Structure 1
Amino acid sequence: MPGAKCGGCGRFISTLEGAKCGKCQMVYHRVCVGVPTKANVALNWRCPECKKNVVRDNRPDTPVRGSIQSPTKEAEEDPAAEATSTPSNFGASSRAEVSTVELSPVTGSDLGQIMKELRALREDIHMFRREMEVEMAELKSTLGTCNTRIDSLEARVDVLEMQASSVSATSVDRVVEELRRELNDRDQDLLSNDIEVSNLPEHKAENTAHIVLAIGRKLGVAIEGRDIVSAERVGGRQLNVSGPTGATEARPRVVVVRLARRDLRDQLLTSARVRRGATTADLDLPGPAQRFYLNERLTKTNRQLFRRVRDAANLHGWRFVWTKQGRILARRTPADRTQRIRTEEDLSRIFGSANDTA
């Protein structure tokens, strides 16, 4: 009978502990109904609920039932006394009969059954108490573990808060500035094969690659078409007013050239420094001949910084400001030490504060 519950205590019953009623088919623990553990349960065995509903017979050991009681011995021996009894005595005897009917005696077998049930109930209570004590001990152990982990987490949070409070805004700004500097250096490395040619007259349907080849021949550097990865004008068109008529003409945009080899770029830059003052003559460009310039291609950050360095150098009388391999260099006189400028702090340190440099 697996999965059945006891009709008395409501707990699940195993096969060896159960006793099945032959009338109502309810299942009980042997302990709950007072059946010995090793005794065989008869097929016509009745549970306590069915036993109390069995109609009593007239055997001598049958309890007094709630029916009209037989006359007492005194009434049988003295019928005259019964006849001459007053109404008040009659009412008293009636009340006595009613109380006798309600208080039926309990037999020894029923009392023993009740005692057995009480003992079984006490054992169940003790078992439940032991189970609760075990569960409470496990719960206390779990709570202790949780408290320990919470304490460790609070300690770690306190350490992190102390570390966060100790880090000042200045140190954070320093780290951010260092990261920006590293990103700028990486971007500059990507432009190591590029040059910029400025102040070249611009016209429609021009061939920038052909212009670069002509510049190479003019500077004495042998450049072939396969050495040019790309050549194009970049930036937006700029307009300026020139001439007495007040007409507006476009300022030529910069030609950005990417070469296949870095040594070829270095040769062009070196030749441009040697032949300083080269013009657009013999380059098949429209308009009068004018001077053009070759420089390294810089990132936006380095280009802005280079412009500020040149302005500060002109203001403080520094004679030499140039770029090499993407680095900005400056020197007051040929005998002085070369200064490398990477950030605004370097600019302020070398040329003074921002107000003095402006």
Structure 2
Amino acid sequence: MHKCGACGRFISPTEGVRCSGAKCGEAYYHSKCVGVKGKVMQGWRCPECKKNIARDNKAETPVRGAGSQVDLECSHYSAGTPDSPVLTQQPALADYREPASVSLSTDNRTGTTGQLLSDNPPVYQLILDELRVVREELTCFRKHMEEELATLKGSVSGYSERIDTLEKKVESLEQRACDSTRVDSVIAELRQQLEDRDQELLANDIEISHLPEVNSENPTHVVLTISQKLGVKLDERDIVSAERVGRRQLNAASPGGPTVIRPRPIVVRLTRRSLRDDLLKSARVRRGATTADLDMAGPAQRFYINERLTKSNRQLFRQARDAAGQAGWRFVWTKHGRILACCKPGDPTKRIRSETDIQALFVSPISLANESA
């Protein structure tokens, strides 16, 4: 007969199991005390001997859990009678589960309330503290973002006003640019009106060109002589003024002394426009008159009587004559200070007031294309 190593009661060899560990010295245990069912394998050890076996670092060596007090395969003592403690088996690893919740009620056996909460705060309390801190940070961040958004809205509003102002200025400039064309046309029209008025002031003037120029000549006497030759009766009282105008051109290289290369024209202002018209009409009738009967030195040469034009109209008349000759127009003349042109007899008369009219009349699209090429 042997005593059980767990409960201390006698046991027969056929009723118990024997431990092969060195510490127990081949002690016997009740099968119920050590939780053994069925046939026991050879070399079986009790829980106390088994937990004292030296462990190695091999991969197949089981690792003890951090929170376990004994090995899962070892047994531990449960509450029993003071005199006969009962050895029970620890549940297997597959059957082990964490408690679902921590009870805050009073323990019926010990009479303590929330000993775990008082000693170690639970995880959810730490989580709540962290969430509270995060909430405060989010609140501060939200306030900061609201302030930034308010500032951004103010800036956007200011920029929007400035953009509106710039758009109005751009529209104003575009309007002014569109109006500039009108302004240019108005300016051109005003210039033309001033030119017409200046030409109107010369309505009583005539210009006699290609008359030999000599020293100490009397332009008034020359004009009276020309009028008698043309058959127009003039008196000195009908002549307001008569003089040569322009710059004198001399040939300094002449062997006989400086001579006039081209004589200056004589400008005559009459008292009445009718006298001017009579002189011009008679000059056209007697076209080809020369200085043979004017008592002037030198060989006889043709002279011309025309209306007096302003500087701008004189240049425009010269350009019109050159362009008409290139375009094949036969007639270009002036009447009452106006420049007129006609291609051939019977064609309508065209008035020329600017260079644009010259381009439109005499310069064809084909010639413009050839010049651009």
> What TM-score do you get using the length of structure 2 for normalisation?
0.50
Residues 326 and 162 (structure 1 numbering): CA distance in 2 closer, same or farther, change over 3 Å? Answer: same
- In structure 1, which of residues 336, 343, 351 is the aligned counterpart of residue 354 of structure 2? 343
Residues 173 and 277 (structure 1 numbering): CA distance in 2 closer, same or farther, change over 3 Å? Answer: same
- In structure 1, which of residues 193, 203, 208 is the aligned counterpart of residue 214 of structure 2? 203
Q: Could you give the per-residue CA deviations for residues 92-149 of structure 1, whole angstroms, max 9, x where no partner exists?
A: xxxxxxxxxxxxxxxxxxxxxxxxxxxxxxxxxxxxxxxxxxxxxxxxxxxxxxxxxx
Q: Could you give the per-residue CA deviations for residues 160-196 of structure 1, whole angstroms, max 9, x where no partner exists?
A: 9478535343222212111111110000000000000
Distance 2:184 2:364 in 1: 20
Query: Which has the higher relative contact order, 1 or 2, with Cα contacts under 8 A spaced 6 or more apart?
Result: 1
Distance 2:246 2:282 in 1: 26
Q: Counterpart of 1:254?
A: 265
Three-state SS of the structure 1 residue aligned to 2:181 is helix
The count of residues paired between Structure 1 and Structure 2 equals 203
State how 1:24-63 maps to structure 2 within 5 Å.
Answer: none
Alpha-carbon deviation of 1:283? 0.9
Larger radius of gyration, structure 1 or 2? 2
Residues 169 and 162 (structure 1 numbering): CA distance in 2 closer, same or farther, change over 3 Å? Answer: closer
- In structure 2, which of residues 330, 336, 343 is the aligned counterpart of residue 332 of structure 1? 343
Three-state SS of the structure 1 residue aligned to 2:186 is helix
Alpha-carbon deviation of 1:244? 11
Q: Does residue 174 in structure 1 map to residue 174 in structure 2?
A: no
Distance 1:248 1:200 in 2: 14
Q: Counterpart of 1:289?
A: 300
Task: Specify every segment of 5 or more residues in structure 1 that has no aligned partner in the other structure, as ranges.
Answer: 1-153
- In structure 2, which of residues 223, 237, 260 is the aligned counterpart of residue 226 of structure 1? 237
Q: Could you give the per-residue CA deviations for residues 1-47 of structure 1, whole angstroms, max 9, x where no partner exists?
A: xxxxxxxxxxxxxxxxxxxxxxxxxxxxxxxxxxxxxxxxxxxxxxx
Residues 220 and 182 (structure 1 numbering): CA distance in 2 closer, same or farther, change over 3 Å? Answer: same
Contact 1:348 1:354 (8 Å CA) reproduced: no
Alpha-carbon deviation of 1:239? 3.9
Q: How much identity, in percent, do the aligned residues show?
A: 61
Larger mean Cα displacement after TM superposition, 336-345 or 347-356 = 347-356
Q: Counterpart of 1:305?
A: 316
Residues 176 and 206 (structure 1 numbering): CA distance in 2 closer, same or farther, change over 3 Å? Answer: same
Q: Could you give the per-residue CA deviations for residues 48-87 of structure 1, whole angstroms, max 9, x where no partner exists?
A: xxxxxxxxxxxxxxxxxxxxxxxxxxxxxxxxxxxxxxxx
Residues 301 and 354 (structure 1 numbering): CA distance in 2 closer, same or farther, change over 3 Å? Answer: farther
Alpha-carbon deviation of 1:249? 3.6
Residues 259 and 354 (structure 1 numbering): CA distance in 2 closer, same or farther, change over 3 Å? Answer: farther
Task: Specify every segment of 5 or more residues in structure 2 that has no aligned partner in the other structure, as ranges.
Answer: 1-164
Q: Counterpart of 2:287?
A: 276
Residues 232 and 355 (structure 1 numbering): CA distance in 2 closer, same or farther, change over 3 Å? Answer: farther
Three-state SS of the structure 2 residue aligned to 1:226 is helix
Contact 2:290 2:300 (8 Å CA) reproduced: yes
Distance 2:367 2:201 in 1: 34
Distance 1:236 1:354 in 2: 39
Hey, which of these two has a bigger chunk of helix by percent? 1
Contact 2:327 2:363 (8 Å CA) reproduced: no
Q: Counterpart of 1:217?
A: 228
Distance 1:298 1:231 in 2: 16
Three-state SS of the structure 2 residue aligned to 1:222 is coil
Q: Does residue 264 in structure 1 map to residue 296 in structure 2?
A: no
Residues 214 and 160 (structure 1 numbering): CA distance in 2 closer, same or farther, change over 3 Å? Answer: farther
- In structure 2, which of residues 188, 191, 199 is the aligned counterpart of residue 188 of structure 1? 199
> What TM-score do you get using the length of structure 1 for normalisation?
0.52
Contact 1:240 1:251 (8 Å CA) reproduced: no
- In structure 2, which of residues 334, 339, 352 is the aligned counterpart of residue 323 of structure 1? 334
Contact 1:233 1:255 (8 Å CA) reproduced: yes
Q: Counterpart of 1:61?
A: none
